[in-house]
Amino acid sequence: MQTRGITMKPNSICLWHVIICVGLLVLLGCDVNGPTGEQTKAVPTMSPSGDSAPSGVGESLSAGLTPAAAQEADAEGKNEKPAKPVPEDMVFIPAGEFLMGSPAGVGAENERPQHPVYVNAFCIDKYEVTNAQFKEFVDATGYVTDAEKQGYGDFLDGVLWRRVPGSSWRHPYAPTSTIDHIMSSPVVQVSWNDAVAYARWAGKRLPTEAEWEKAARGTDGREYPWGNDNPRDGGRYRTNYNPSRLDEDGHRFAAPVGSFESGKSPHGVYDMAGNVSEWCADWYANDYYQQSTSRNPRGPATGQRRVLRGGTWADKADAIRAAFRDSATPESRYYYIGFRCAQDCK
């Protein structure tokens, strides 16, 4: 999946997509368009190990901030405390500035310019919302998802997007699949509308794009939640990505939340690179960084697409960077899109 502004083709269609999908989707569905956005993913430069190694990573936070602001950002979290108890399985993110986006030469145009952003204190879910949690919501409210209303979910079958009748969050990977044995995995086949409905029921909300990125990378401008090393440094996986190496990361599709201890963010938030892409509250615009406010940005006032962040289990290393931006229409649902919630905590 990738960010594109016209009818989107799946990102970097290649043999590993065919291998994964052919067993699931033979004879299912009819052709549809995949997610779209404002750009095409850049093909990453691959290291000998097969992982991308972006140049210009690890820019110092102070390069984009005043000395006083940089010092304040570096000290962030040492003294500030939440005004109320932090809910279970949420993480407190202190107020302060961080560098948002990517410097010249790294990433895509919609990630630039890299710029300092101030975000108020907030809390964010430590893990992506699971099938068990979403089931509790549905059981309590009788909620019907967009996929269930319209009777299909979306899949990538080799080189074509397909609408597969009968697929939904209950049957995420095919009409005959079940969530019974993957209750601790992130819920997928949920639209932005579905994610908002769950968040409201839980007394929470979706994170803004700026909140999401700050929780994912902290204040030092790192490329990934764990730092600047490749996701598979030394053969050890830090996240669930790149399905061409299923034998190494151990998961064909989404992994149970919190499976990769070494991949958590500086704030202790899990699975913010790979696994499933996550809905954010904001409308999406390709050029938003050229006009956004520097304090608590919340995206354009209107739009046609909502922001997605984090990349997926089906992506290469370039697309799971903390600054990578994606988008889809609010009713879109795919087998690699989920979400996590946020909450005001100050």
Top pLDDT among 43 and 114 is at 114
Pairing of strands 96-100, 115-119: antiparallel
Structural domain includes residue 68 = yes
Residue 62 scores a pLDDT above 70: no
Domain count, the chain: 1
Report the distance separating Cα 75 and Cα 72, nearest Å.
Answer: 5
Q: What is the CATH number of the domain that holds 200?
A: 3.90.1580.10
Residue among 238, 258, 262 nearest 248 (CA): 238
pLDDT grade for 84, boundaries at 50, 70 and 90: confident
Q: 13-43 burial, b if ≥16 CB within 10 A, otherwise e?
A: eeebbeebbeebbeebbeeeebbbbbbbbee
Structural domain includes residue 158 = yes
Structural domain includes residue 3 = no
Q: Is 86 exposed, middle or buried (0-12, 13-18, 19+ CB in 10 A)?
A: middle
Q: State yes or no: cis peptide before 113, omega within 30 of 0.
A: yes
Structural domain includes residue 10 = no
CB-CB neighbours of 12 under 10 Å: 17
CB 141 within 8 A of CB 110: no
Residue 51 scores a pLDDT above 50: no
Structural domain includes residue 181 = yes
Give the pLDDT score at 250.
75
Host domain of residue 277: 15-42+56-343
Distances (CA, A) of 289 to 64, 111, 133, 212, 297: 14, 7, 34, 15, 10
Structural domain includes residue 165 = yes
Structural domain includes residue 8 = no
Provide φ and ψ at 32, rounded to 5°.
Answer: -140, 175
Residue 65 scores a pLDDT above 50: no
Report the distance separating Cα 308 and Cα 195, nearest Å.
Answer: 12
Structure tokens at 303: 């739009």
CB-CB neighbours of 297 under 10 Å: 21
Report the distance separating Cα 157 and Cα 27, nearest Å.
Answer: 10
Q: Which residues pair with 58 in a beta bridge?
A: none
Residue 254 scores a pLDDT above 60: yes
* DSSP, residue by residue, 119-149: E--EEEESSPPBHHHHHHHHHHH----HHHH
Report the distance separating Cα 322 and Cα 311, nearest Å.
Answer: 9
Encode pLDDT of 132-162 as tens digits: 999 999 999 999 999 999 999 988 776 677 8
Structural domain includes residue 51 = no
Encode pLDDT of 188-202 as tens digits: 999 999 999 999 999
- Mean pLDDT (the chain, rounded): 81
Which residue stretches of the chain are H helix?
15-25, 67-74, 131-141, 146-150, 192-201, 209-217, 246-249
CB 326 within 8 A of CB 35: yes
Can you tell me which residue has the tokens 């600047």? 228
Give the pLDDT score at 304.
98
Give the percent of the chain with pLDDT over 70. 73
Report the distance separating Cα 2 and Cα 269, nearest Å.
Answer: 23
Least confident of 43-47, 256-260, 333-337: 43-47
